[in-house]
A and B are shown apart, each in its own frame.
Chain A
Amino acid sequence: MDDLAALADDDEHLHVVLIGPSPGESVLVGTPDGAWLVVDSMLGPTHPSQQDRHPVAEALRRLGAYPSLLALTHPHHDHASGLTDLINTYDDAPVGCVPVWIAPAGGMSSTAMLLKGDAEDARAAIERAWKDPVREWRLLADPSADRSLGTHGRVEVLSPSQQEADAAHAYPTPSFNAISAAMRVTWHDVELILGADLTTPGWQAVQGRRAPTTGDAAHMHKASHHGSDTGHHAWALGVAPPTHRPVGLTPYNVRVPNFAPGRDIDKLHDTIDELAMTAVPGYAGNPGPVQVASIRAARTATVGGVPAVGGRHLAFDAWWAWSLRPDGTVGTARHGSAANVVIR
């Protein structure tokens, strides 16, 4: 992550850092005057030699950043694990969360236990933080939830609405993704859409609440739900984004994103030429930018007649960082060695 340190000395651009050592993601948005928004957290990556490292905490250290705002879009493990540590470390930063908690799905595997424990831990940390009214930030699509980010920045919560949050409990099989908190960050003329894991119906509701051209005008998108087509929406991604507009996504690594024809990546390519992905699903040590054909080629091994993909050992520096000028154009784009671009 050495390149990240260079951003610390850049006081002209808005910085957007997307971290995603599959599975998991975090978005860091920093203004030149030193205000940082941290959206989500994850523990990882998964290589045994790298255990006990916290990618977000490490990135913040390298950036020399002290978060002004912390936010949890929804309490799935790949967004919530490790958030507690950030809340404890940056113990005066407001903590955002959708004020609805649905018990994480059960399961009896060790992984299910782990996920549930991480999510409950994050909830407890947020509860504790919210005892201080200054730290309470209810992520609801309401002007009262808007927050400043530095002198010229603003964070706006796009979803869920209060009604959507209230209704979440009534669903027979409630979904965190359906009520995850998508956000819009503005700074001078720059506009970013951070998609969380919001699903398509959620985006439709957002579009109904907002001017229909707003998303289309955004200068950068963090694709929702790791690029899955369950989160695709024309407004969210922009109807016809120019190719220079960064669209970043983080792989979940269990078939998300899906590279099959007609599915996640293929559909994204209907409108977007280049997708900046922090790491390759099933990444097995590929050091540089790869194309779809390369990713498909990795899925050729067989075990007992069953198609197999490579191992799950990811390089640690799975990240993209963009520096945006006040007019929204990209100044620089940096990436870690695990990152890649998926080209149409």
Chain B
Amino acid sequence: MARRRAAHLRDAGLDVVVVDCHADGLDAPLVVLAALAEQLERLDPNCSLAARFADQLQMWRRLELLDESLQAASPDVVLFDAPELWGGQCRGARHRCETIVRRIEQAGWRTERAPDREPEQLHDALLALAEAAGQNVSQLAHPPRAVGALASAVLARLSSGAGRRYLARLTIDGVYRDWHLPPTGEAGTLVEALMEFDGNLRRLAREVAEQLPASATGAARRRRALGEVREALTAAGAERAPERHRLRVEATALAALLSEAETVDEIGVIGSEQLTLLAASLSARAVDRGRAQETAERAVALDGEDIDALRTLAGLVDDAGIDLSEARRLWQDLVMLDQGDQDAHQALVSAMLADADEPAAQLAWQWAGLDLEKHHQAPDPDRLHLPIAATALARSRTRIAREVLFDVPPNRRMPAWRSLVDVLEALEAARQHEDVLPVGEMTDRWWEQGPRRLAGRDPVDGARLISWLAGRVSALDLQDQVAVIQGMQVIDGDPGPPQTQELMMTADLYERLAADSVAFEDLADRYVELGVYQPEAGPERSILRVRRRPEPLALPARRSPSRAWRDLR
């Protein structure tokens, strides 16, 4: 995904993008390890760096993402802050950093050291620079040193005179984490406007509520007044928001009022439709799910056949994951009320899979097909098949995942479908102990594609690759300093399929064969390629390359642990 996003940013003409090193995802193509270095300085100097990174900073993961992003995006400016701090005492980390620096230097990219300035000054300077460049710089909430790097990047880029556009987007609060940067910036403007509007609503609601009588005798007046405010806010929101966001705006108004009201009744929400809206809004905020569920339950109690209310309640119960049996019952009710609702069918089957009840899910899946056919509903793979398959795959339920995925008509098999099929095939292969390639590469006759990281000839002496092995480090024994590699060996000229092999490799041998600066201790669960080269004269020799870690797969999150487990904590 990082690679795709990097390419996307590149296509959009973004030459410099700074990423907050504290955020979970380093998903853009640049580079600032300033914040990371700062963190390092604070750490206990008595620990080994490798352990610190592994436990606290996930250093290896960050370095790999950085490396991959650099290679994918080829930025014009690369910023470093105190690179000597990266490696420290850890030989593996130092090698890794040196490799990255060397690659950057070879690519001819410009490198800069981030200045150490006060964050406020940098913030102002950056905004001024951005304005001067006629560009938008938003959401500058980030570590101070990252600001420095950002400012330095913009400065460097401006001075080069070659840039077209600068956009920096740093997030630490996750607001935009799942938001894809659009080329035009329109979506950002829209989201920011909505957030601003949201804030105004809350402030207004709070001010109004403070003026209202709090005594019991004034309850009727208070309720009436709150109701009026709600209507006014809703109307105001409807005027200001685009049509497609009107529902959200109205719900925002309701939620804002409810945050100030003592009871739901106080704001005059008495109909199931309004309660449903309110529950949806509370749910969307994810801060008051208990109240959201209570509100939805009231809506369902008022009208047990209110489909929207049921759907909202079922969604809340399902998302909470505490009582999947109840979620199943609600989805089942919904399916009974509207047999043509493929979203409800999807949710029912998915909840059954999440509840580890594949037999029931299998049955519900078959009923879904019959119901939709009876109601002349054309199944939409994006709404029906793919979410069910993703849930099944997250639980390693490959059989039903295969059945569901291959129920998608051939003409509807889009890239998202292909991605899930890749996962399915990888899991099936792993079940059979042939997990030797990352997801997506274990295709039919994969060995004919050749190795990904091994060259056909050694560039030094022209030695020819006569066989290679695709494998995965299935076990790492740090006590004995031995890695176990489970692999499949491909011999040049042999039509295949390759034979399964299991190799044991000592740390010393690994040091001799490895062409990458990945520490032996970091080999667990890594994919590797091992090539055997035949020079013109002399004996064969082997070279081992370590594959980059695959991208995390976007399968649905697991349900939360139930009360049964949480009681003990």
Contact = CB atoms under 8 A, between A and B. Distances in A.
A18 B486 CA distance: 26
A311 interface: yes
B191 interface: no
A99 B530 contact: no
A88 B430 contact: no
A172 B55 contact: yes
Given A122-B356, A305-B540, A110 B558 contact: no
A342 B526 CA distance: 32
A128 B356 contact: yes
Contact of B504 (A51, A87, A88, A255): A255
Given A110-B429, A166-B568, A305-B540, A124 B356 contact: yes
A313 interface: yes
B503 A306 contact: yes
A113 B502 contact: no
A109 B540 contact: no
A282 interface: yes
Interface stretch (B258-266, B287-295, B476-484): B476-484
Given A43-B431, A117-B394, A111 B525 contact: yes
B74 interface: no
Interface in A249-263: 254-256, 258, 260, 263
Interface string B351-362: 000111111000
A15 B128 CA distance: 81
Chain B interface mostly: mixed
Given A112-B525, A260-B480, A46 B396 contact: no
A172 B52 CA distance: 12
B530 A312 contact: no
Interface residues of B, number: 72
A128 B357 contact: yes
B325 A255 contact: no
A114 B486 CA distance: 16
A109 B472 contact: yes
A303 B502 CA distance: 10
B554 interface: no
A154 to B, nearest CB: 25
A110 B559 contact: no
Residue among B399, B474, B532 facing the most chain A CB atoms (10 A cut-off)? B474
B166 interface: no
Residue among A47, A99, A306 facing the most chain B CB atoms (10 A cut-off)? A306
Contacts of B474: 111, 254
A255 to B, nearest CB: 6
A118 interface: yes
B475 interface: yes
B501 A117 contact: no
B553 interface: yes
Contacts of A263: 480
A108 interface: yes
B277 interface: no
Interface string B528-560: 001110000000111000000111110100110
A108 B325 contact: no
Contact of B354 (A109, A124, A303): A124
B439 interface: yes
A296 interface: no
Contacts of A99: 564-565, 567-568
B489 interface: yes
Contact of A114 (B427, B567, B569): B427
Interface in A278-312: 282, 299, 303-312
Interface string A244-274: 0000000000111010100100000000000
Contacts of A131: 325
B393 interface: yes
A110 B426 contact: yes
Contact of B432 (A46, A107, A255): A46
A165 to B, nearest CB: 7
Contacts of B475: 254-256
A330 interface: no
B561 interface: yes
Nearest to A313: B500
A299 B558 CA distance: 41
Contacts of A124: 324, 354-356, 395, 559
B396 A113 contact: yes
Interface in B395-436: 395-397, 399, 423, 426-427, 429-433, 435
Contacts of A113: 393, 396, 423, 426-427, 430, 553, 555
Nearest to B328: A128
A280 to B, nearest CB: 12
A120 B568 contact: no
Interface in B90-144: none
A48 B432 CA distance: 6
A311 B503 contact: no
Given A166-B568, A305-B540, A306-B509, A46 B433 contact: yes
B569 A169 contact: yes
A282 B501 CA distance: 9
Contact of B325 (A81, A109, A128, A309): A128
A84 interface: yes
A121 B395 contact: yes
Given A46-B433, A108-B550, A254-B484, A130 B540 contact: no
B568 A165 contact: yes
A85 B400 CA distance: 14
A162 to B, nearest CB: 9
Contacts of A166: 568
Contacts of B467: 303-304
B105 to A, nearest CB: 29
Contact of A127 (B513, B540, B542, B564): B564
Given A88-B357, A122-B356, A131-B325, A304 B502 contact: no
Interface string B461-474: 00000010100101
B356 A125 contact: yes
A20 B439 CA distance: 28
B542 A117 contact: no
Given A101-B565, A113-B427, A306 B530 contact: yes
A343 interface: no
Contacts of B429: 110
A100 interface: yes
Contacts of B354: 124
Given A84-B358, A255-B482, A305-B540, A111 B530 contact: no
A303 B426 CA distance: 25
A127 B562 contact: yes
A52 interface: yes
B268 interface: no
A101 B505 contact: no
Given A84-B356, A128-B356, A303-B501, A114 B568 contact: no
6 contacts: A108-B438, A113-B396, A125-B357, A254-B475, A311-B500, A311-B501
Given A111-B435, A113-B555, 9 more contacts: A99-B567, A99-B568, A111-B474, A123-B565, A166-B568, A255-B475, A255-B484, A299-B504, A303-B467
Interface of B: 55, 324-325, 354-359, 393-397, 399, 423, 426-427, 429-433, 435, 438-439, 442, 467, 469, 472, 474-475, 477, 480, 482, 484, 486, 489, 499-505, 509, 513, 524-527, 530-532, 540-542, 549-553, 555, 558-559, 561-562, 564-565, 567-569
3 closest A-B pairs by beta carbon, nearest first, are: A117-B396, A254-B475, A125-B356
Interface of A: 43, 46-48, 51-52, 81, 84-85, 87-88, 99-101, 107-114, 116-118, 120-125, 127-128, 130-131, 136, 165-166, 169, 172, 254-256, 258, 260, 263, 282, 299, 303-313
